[in-house]
Amino acid sequence: MIAVGRQKGDPEATLVADYLSRFDAAGRGMGLGPASVIEVEDKKRRGAGAEGDLLLGAAADGAYLVALDERGKTMDSRAFAALIADQRDQGRRDMAFLIGGADGHQAELRGRCDRLLSFGPMVWPHMLARVMLTEQLYRAASILAGAPYHRD
């Protein structure tokens, strides 16, 4: 996950750390993870374009780029798990989930991404989007492992 802004010792940071730890444990045997959080910050406050450059610059070369964006498509948890498994099975080493700042992503960044993903028509604060994403990563690993965490 590559996100704009710094998450300091708030409750959301605790949840993100917990879900990432769970994901790493559940995914390790299936060739998933480890997952990490990279935080970028536009200290000069140049706007969403500069944030996009920072996000893209922090992504690993060849990573499958997923922008969390209100214009994206929604997926259910099983489809999200299948996307992750598909990228792994194609030999893709890295997936980068990009979370923008308050002004979201500009068209240039969206155009460079492999997928736009939405958590629904509502707009979510980026700190909650981090929690939601990490929970879904853990859920995806659980689905792929056949663990009982996810219930249909």
3-state secondary structure of 44: coil
CATH of the domain at 14: 3.40.1280.10
* Segment 11-30, tens digit of pLDDT: 999 999 999 999 999 999 99
Strands (E), 1-47: 2-4, 38-40
150 in a structural domain: no
Q: State which residues form the domain around 43.
A: 2-145
10 in a structural domain: yes
Count of the separate structural domains present in the chain? 1
Residue keyed to tokens 């409750």? 11
* Segment 63-116, tens digit of pLDDT: 999 999 999 999 999 999 999 999 999 999 999 999 998 888 999 999 999 999
